[in-house]
Amino acid sequence: MEPSAASPVQPMLAKAVDAVPDPDSVLGGLSYEPKWDGFRGIVYFDGSKVEIGSRGSKMLTRYFPELESAFARLLPGPCVLDGEIVVRSGEPGRERLDWEALSQRIHPAASRVRKLAEETPAMFVAFDLLARGKDSLLGTPFGERRAALEALAGDLGDPIHLTRTSTDVALARHWLVEFEGAGLDGVVAKPLAAAYAPGKRLMLKTKHHRTADVVLLGYRVHKSGSGVGSLLLGLYDGDGELRNIGGASAFSDARRLELIDELAPLVLKDDDGAVVTGETERSRFSAGKDISYVRLRPDRVVEVRYDQMEGARFRHTVQFFRWRPDREARSCTFEQLERPIAYDLNRVLA
């Protein structure tokens, strides 16, 4: 069936791998491209009307009016594009992707949407072509889809960009390190001979892997009401203030219950013996959710695995690795974190 806004397609997904794979690991070879850190977008253009679908098929069109008008103006004919919506910020020559600015674009007020469209305009990085005219390309090998995408959208100009690709694995491994400085978060490898597989993890993604020693601030009770749902984590800044930097979750049912007993000696209590709780800052993504947590004495250090930072917080939920009883909590500062060398986003887009 031809993909359309009336019958939206589920985006093809990627499976995580530890390292950028060799091209001969997949029959037919691999094409490599940077992994963009934004909102996945499927653009449906029927020749006059534009709709932008999300990874979950929810329409994002109303939040990005500047992209809607750009697609209608620049696209040469009906088509369906797969790509990423991103926002950039920074001084000329030192621009990078800005996840925080992008996340602010999802707002219920139309007046706010219009204002942000002018202040922090988005751009679209296309990396696949799913239909052209009335012809579906879902069954076409990626190598051919990429060539068709280049012919259709290679010279459209800002705010529509075409992601770069290469079949050189050494170059892809270089991108993994270098492009992080512009806010990108990895490399994607796509089988050249593969058809588009909606909802399937046919692509391979390699992201950055790091560890950090952080201070345990508290925990949230699991949504089931039993056991620890997530751990709240912190680091000391240059002024000696302990700052919340994110959380770790994804514990098994048994481990959640074990953590309740394991952390009981650290639970803070008031003079009447009642458990002391706190609340994290509420965002539009936590609207309607319970943001309370049980406060703990900041004595326990935990080593976690993470991929990247966004400002002073972990960009994604991190993974618990191990307790670090050999570390003093006060020694866990932001200075330990590895920071990528700045790299201008425009050089990635070139």
Side chain identity, residue 125: V
Predicted pLDDT of residue 92: 86
Q: Which residues form the catalytic set?
A: 35
Residue 6 has pLDDT above 80, yes or no: no
Confidence (pTM):
0.76
| pLDDT tier at 285, thresholds 50, 70, 90 | very low
**pLDDT exceeds cutoff 90 at 336:** no
Looking at residues 153-168, what average pLDDT do you find?
A: 94
Mean pLDDT within 103-120: 94
Q: What does the DSSP 8-state code read for residue 109?
A: -
Mean pLDDT, all residues of the chain:
90
Between the CA atoms of 107, 108, 111 and 116, what dihedral angle is there, to the nearest 10 degrees?
10
pLDDT recorded at residue 255? 93
The alpha-carbon radius of gyration of the chain (Å, integer) is 23
pLDDT value at residue 294: 92
Contact 47, 74 (CB under 8 A): no
Res 58 pLDDT > 50:
yes
The two structure tokens encoding residue 250: 């994804």
Which one-letter amino acid corresponds to residue 335? E
Q: Which domains does the chain have, with CATH numbers?
A: 13-207 (3.30.470.30), 210-336 (2.40.50.140)
| Measured distance CA(112)–CA(114) in Å, rounded | 5
- What type of residue is 199? G
Give the best-scoring range by mean pLDDT among 79-83, 197-201, 335-339: 79-83
Q: Which whole number is the average pLDDT over 267-282?
A: 83
Residues 6+ apart with CB under 8 A from 76: 152
pLDDT at 282: 54
HEC per residue, 152-168: HHCCCCCCEEECCCECC
Cα 147–chain centre separation:
27
Best CA proximity match to 40, nearest among 178, 175, 203, 166: 203
Spatial contact of 83 and 126, defined as CB atoms under 8 Å apart: yes
Task: Label residue 57 by pLDDT band (50, 70, 90).
Answer: low
Token pair, residue 27, equals 């029959």
